[in-house]
Structure 1
Amino acid sequence: MKNQNYLNKNTIALIAICMATLMFSLEISSVPVILPTLEKVLGANLKDMQWIMNIYTIGCTTVLMAAGTLADKYGRKRILLITLVLFGIASLVCGLAQSIPVLIVSRFFQGISGGAMLICQISALSHQFQEGKERSKAFGIWGIILGLGLGFGPIIGSGIVGLLSWKWVFLIHTPIAVIAAILVYGNVEESKDPQAKRLDIAGMVTLSLAVFGLTYFITQGGDIGFTSTMAISIFIATASSFIIFVWVEKSNDYPMFDFSVFRIRNFSGAVFGSIGMNFSFWPFIIYLPIYFQGYLGYDVITVGLSLLAYTLPTLLVPPLAERLSARYRPGLVIPFGLFTIGLGFIIMRYGSMAENPGWLTMLPGSALAGIGLGLTNTPVTNTTTGAVSSNRAGMASGIDMSARLITLAINIALMGFILVEGILSYLKPVLAHHSLNSLQLRSLAEKIASGSFDTLKRDFPQLAVSDPSGTLVHAALLQGFDWIMLYSGIGVWVLSLASLITFGSKKRV
């Protein structure tokens, strides 16, 4: 009977932790689908959409490494409970937000609590399930739920919008967080590390400022001018923050980032894989709904269904990736996965320019990019932690996750910038005879980039005469997406080559 109670308690604990995992992953993949809706109901522009997504990842990055230290010192169960409550409150505020600034600020706190919650989940699982077979099964189920949240997030988000409203994409997490917290309180065992290191506040603050500063510079640079005094000051402050971060970590006895691990070729080669996945695949999921809604005219449900071809392979392919890694080594599988992602983007590019574009012409490239992500993700995770000794696995995992989130935040901003520049490049020659100055042209390009077509002819009456059917606007948007997909495909190919060279020709440990 005692063993049966133990099993039941562990099962309930696993359910609670998986509920937390599902919330975290849904907030990454379900929110992009509602961004065009937020443009209509809250008046969000392209920069707002970027910040709604970016601020979540920046929040996660801010606490990612510190959360593990706090959990070790004060109790993994205790910190997990606190983060669940905070995530539920932040989600409630997001859902009740009546303005973009409130939504962005609440998304930041949602990201902070979500990032800490993710680290605490892993720590709690590691302590709760210590037997080999049971531990492997628990982490396997946890990974499946994480994949389900990421893979089905778009259709779940679009379904919620279709049945209820955009608010419930956030509000639904509040009751889930309450239930998960109750289950955690009653079933997850408390654990601490008496040898826990002290909190690296200086490293945490300087890294966060560097990421935020670079993201702000890219996102707002077009408006304030990249060569303006303000922009240059922001860039100098950002570079200074990063330099101080490196100095702090190298001089700290207990750093968040132990840069010596980058001397291990397997570790560095896998980190290129982390960067590659978030250089192209995940940031593009923010913009793909704009293509489907703005250019193809799909409704929110059809957008969610169309995105399944992009996300589902990420859930189905990892078991194959594990077998391939065991047979051919990660040093080949990870670069091949990145190359496949890049190939998917190039094929998507041609699919978007087909004579009769639609979800079917985008399907081959979308699926191939998803397959590439699936081939890369699991080998990267296993290699970063397996390349170092067991007592450094947590730190290695933290660097891996930080590399992903930092790259994601920066490339969300970069893709938005490239999208606008591509549209501007199209508009300038064809609207040269109109009396639009550079600021008006950029404003027009940003409205097109956000898929905001409803008010274009009202705000720019020149278009009512020169482009009554919207042909020019759609062609400009298509060129912007052409630039993004070309940037993503070539960029991830470069990272694939860097990963292959870094791993080297022989198996290394």
Structure 2
Amino acid sequence: MDRTYRLRWGTLAVLCLSLLLIGLDNTVLNVALPTLQRDLDASASELQWIVDAYTLIFAGLLLTAGSWGDKYGRRRALALGLLVFSAAAAWGANCDSPRELIAARSVMGLGGALVMPSTLSILTNVFTDPAERKRAIGVWAGVSGIGIAIGPALGGWLLEHYAWSSVFWINVPVAGLALLLTPLLVRESRDPRAPRLDLGGATLSTAGLSLLVWAIIEAPDRGWGDRWVVGGFVVAAAVLALFALWERRVREPMLDVSFFRNPRFSVPAISVTLLFFALFGSVFFLSIHIQSVMGYSPLEAGLRILPIAASLAPSAPLAMLFAQRIGEKIPVVVGMTVIAGAFGLLSRTTVDSGYGHVLVFLLLLGFGIGFAMSPATEAVMGALPRAKAGVGSAVNDTTRQVGGALGVAVLGSILNSVYTGRMEEKVAGLPPAAAEAARDNLQAAVAVAGELPVPSVAQRLVTDAQEAFVHAMDVTVLIGAAVALLGAAVTLVWLPHHGEPGDDVPDEPVANGGRAEPDERLMGSRM
């Protein structure tokens, strides 16, 4: 225990490095998609699944991976995840076809599912003092946001200097360093009373979450009323309901669903879902605005998104200082209200708005994210016995993934619908094929304009498309603001200010990979 205490800040550094790897991956890749489409001759559908294959496997396996780490060792899960992730990234860098790259991204999702819940579950078992744990979670939350924020700039820089494979190769040395430091700075821990692996629960949770994420991903393209999409949602709901029923009846459940009766667990999980719904759904369109309306290159756009990290990094630990004094409720409410205000500001964007307008939005948004996310995470993890930290962390991560995917799908559909409606009359005089393309999205409209023979008509089409997109973005982010306010209201009404002291007791760390003995204090802890 003494060695664990002495190494705790080094352990946090390894966990943050691993977390940074996961946060960077998708945002770095997004910048490379146009290059991948050209070099691999990928179709639009293949391009989408290069991104979504990772999300589908990652979200579907989170609960199972978190439970596996609780039973067999969280350090072991972290190390295995880093190894799988780096090997799959090296495979992805050497792919020469879209289908092979989709397969590599799927394996990366498996590695990510092992890494992500391990970072938070190890943290909560290393930092046993509640005050220190709050500060550590503040750092953890800040790093998770920074990885997402710096990804576009790093991806843009890599593509300006190297081939697209560099966005995969960059993962290998980072994962290798984290893998090298893990046995030196991270001690093993596991649930000392771990039940048998719940294969029924694992199968049902993986199938239900995978179906849910698949339906969310496919809905914008197929249509929300498409029979496959509707069927996907219905089957996912049925499977997840069966999962909950199974967990209530099985003797040794993977996830004790009675945890959701505790508002300190369920309310912040809902708040995080709504936060990431608003965040991913709205910020996704901001990068398009900066490039296609403001005229910046991918690298320039990435650099101009970086200020979000400047406000997010200090706000997450700052929120935890307030949470130590007044509880998690008020910081979460304040953070989500600031996010709503930032979206309200962005909704006043026009085609002529300069970068200063975007900069203020990014600074407010970063502050709000950090101020809301870190205390919400602490509330979720503090509500559970530390022996269940792996599955608790997985629930926290799953809410982020589902909320983010749903935000991109729902708000993306709304944006496309508003854009298409505004462009209907503007493309009336164009040839049918050109009109259909210009009506579909802003980038296609700009491409169509580049092929028109009359410069004035081409410029008019670009202006109309930019105005239609900005109007659609303004409507979309207002909905994002409403969702963030809903999250603030849910938190204000139902989240208690403080948890009951003594609710969670750490499980014993495992030295040299050995088996932990049951902690007698856990036998008497209240669950």
Tell me how far apart the structure 2 counterparts of residues 494 and 6 of structure 1 sit (CA, whole Å).
41
* Partner in structure 1 of residue 465 of structure 2: 473
Aligned CA distance change for structure 1 residues 40 and 8 (closer, same or farther; 3 Å): farther
* Partner in structure 2 of residue 67 of structure 1: 65
Does residue 397 in structure 1 map to residue 393 in structure 2? yes
- Counterpart of 1:405, as a letter, is Q
Identity %: 25
Does residue 363 in structure 1 map to residue 364 in structure 2? no
Tell me how far apart the structure 2 counterparts of residues 8 and 388 of structure 1 sit (CA, whole Å).
25
**Alpha-carbon contact 1:45-1:446 (below 8 Å) kept:** no
- Counterpart of 2:402, as a letter, is I
Shift in Å, 1:309: 2.6
Aligned with 2:32: secondary structure? helix
- Counterpart of 1:483, as a letter, is V
> Structure 1: where are the runs of 5+ without partners?
none
Tell me how far apart the structure 1 counterparts of residues 259 and 4 of structure 2 sit (CA, whole Å).
39
Question: Any residues of structure 2 matched to 1:29-48 within 5 Å, and which?
Answer: 29-38=27-36, 41-42=39-40
Question: Any residues of structure 2 matched to 1:376-391 within 5 Å, and which?
Answer: 376-391=372-387
Q: Map Cα deviations across residues 86-126 of structure 1 (whole Å, 9 max, x no partner).
A: 10121123333444443333223212201201233445556
Question: Any residues of structure 2 matched to 1:13-32 within 5 Å, and which?
Answer: 16-32=14-30
Aligned CA distance change for structure 1 residues 442 and 106 (closer, same or farther; 3 Å): farther
Tell me how far apart the structure 1 counterparts of residues 201 and 421 of structure 2 sit (CA, whole Å).
40
**Alpha-carbon contact 1:269-1:499 (below 8 Å) kept:** yes
- Counterpart of 2:67, as a letter, is T
Q: Map Cα deviations across residues 217-245 of structure 1 (whole Å, 9 max, x no partner).
A: 34434554544444443343333323323
Aligned with 2:196: secondary structure? coil
Q: Map Cα deviations across residues 379-412 of structure 1 (whole Å, 9 max, x no partner).
A: 1011112234444454433322221121112222
Does residue 113 in structure 1 map to residue 111 in structure 2? yes
Name the stretch that deviates more: 153-162 or 300-309. Answer: 153-162
Structure 2 residue corresponding to 1:423, chosen from 414, 419, 424: 419
Aligned with 2:347: secondary structure? helix
Structure 2 residue corresponding to 1:493, chosen from 485, 501, 520: 485
Tell me how far apart the structure 1 counterparts of residues 412 and 326 of structure 2 sit (CA, whole Å).
37
Question: Any residues of structure 2 matched to 1:183-202 within 5 Å, and which?
Answer: 183-185=181-183, 188-193=186-191, 195-202=193-200
The CA RMSD measured in Å over matched residues stands at 3.6
- Counterpart of 2:422, as a letter, is Y
Question: Any residues of structure 2 matched to 1:82-481 within 5 Å, and which?
Answer: 82-124=80-122, 145-185=143-183, 188-193=186-191, 195-221=193-219, 223-350=221-348, 352-353=349-350, 356-432=352-428, 436=432, 444-448=438-442, 451-452=443-444, 455-457=447-449, 466-469=457-460, 470-481=462-473
Tell me how far apart the structure 1 counterparts of residues 386 and 8 of structure 2 sit (CA, whole Å).
24
**Alpha-carbon contact 2:60-2:209 (below 8 Å) kept:** no
- Counterpart of 1:198, as a letter, is R
Shift in Å, 1:73: 3.5
Q: Map Cα deviations across residues 265-298 of structure 1 (whole Å, 9 max, x no partner).
A: 3333322321122111234443322221122110
Aligned CA distance change for structure 1 residues 65 and 51 (closer, same or farther; 3 Å): same
Tell me how far apart the structure 1 counterparts of residues 346 and 238 of structure 2 sit (CA, whole Å).
39
**Alpha-carbon contact 2:142-2:370 (below 8 Å) kept:** no
Shift in Å, 1:315: 1.0
Aligned with 1:373: secondary structure? helix
Tell me how far apart the structure 2 counterparts of residues 429 and 188 of structure 1 sit (CA, whole Å).
62
Aligned CA distance change for structure 1 residues 96 and 359 (closer, same or farther; 3 Å): farther
Aligned CA distance change for structure 1 residues 370 and 183 (closer, same or farther; 3 Å): closer
What TM-score, normalized to structure 1? 0.84
**Alpha-carbon contact 1:434-1:462 (below 8 Å) kept:** no
- Counterpart of 1:409, as a letter, is A
**Alpha-carbon contact 2:121-2:389 (below 8 Å) kept:** no
What TM-score, normalized to structure 2? 0.81
Aligned with 1:430: secondary structure? coil
**Alpha-carbon contact 1:384-1:400 (below 8 Å) kept:** yes
- Counterpart of 2:403, as a letter, is T
Aligned CA distance change for structure 1 residues 129 and 239 (closer, same or farther; 3 Å): closer
How many pairs were matched up? 498
Tell me how far apart the structure 1 counterparts of residues 423 and 242 of structure 2 sit (CA, whole Å).
42
Structure 2 residue corresponding to 1:81, chosen from 65, 79, 84: 79
Shift in Å, 1:144: 5.7
